Amino acid sequence: MKKKVLNMIVCGLLAASLVFNGFQYSENQKLKEQHLATFQQEVSFTIQRLEGYQESGDEAEYTTAISHIYAAYVAVSDYAWLTDHDDLAISYSGYFHSMWNHAIFYPEQFKEITDEVLEALKAVKVDHELNDLETIYLFEKRFAF
């Protein structure tokens, strides 16, 4: 009798564990998708602001673009962390951090390469799954220090 009760308790605990793990996996998938969507949105905002800066020369546009670069960096870093440290996501994280640092500490140099930055950002915008190696190479040639 004790074995039957013990077996039922163990089976109940296993079933509860499976349900909890399934729920947790589902929530992690939603969170990954949310971070990826936020990253793509921030990349779009950065493109808009850098293009606005090119057209008007307004420093407010440039400053706002820097803020969006940082927000994109945070979103892709969180995404990389949730994807068990996916190598390409980590590369994006590093390049966005380098781009952000470059834009803050060397603004004159960064402003000179705005066309190249826009080209790379537009490639990222198209690469919805962050798995295009050619896009990574665009960043690597400019922001690998």
Average pLDDT, the chain: 86
Residues contacting 126, CB < 8 A, separation 6+: 132, 135
CA distance 76 to 96: 9
Each residue's pLDDT tens digit, 80-103: 888 876 778 888 888 899 999 999
pLDDT of residue 97: 92
Residue 144 — φ and ψ, nearest 5°? -90, 115
Of 107, 98, 105, whose CA–CA distance to 142 is shortest? 98
- The pLDDT-based confidence of 69 (bands split at 50, 70, 90) is very high
The single residue listed with the structure tokens 């390469």 is 113
Report the predicted TM-score, pTM, of the whole model to 2 decimal places: 0.80
Query: pLDDT at residue 22 above 90?
Result: no
pLDDT of residue 39: 92
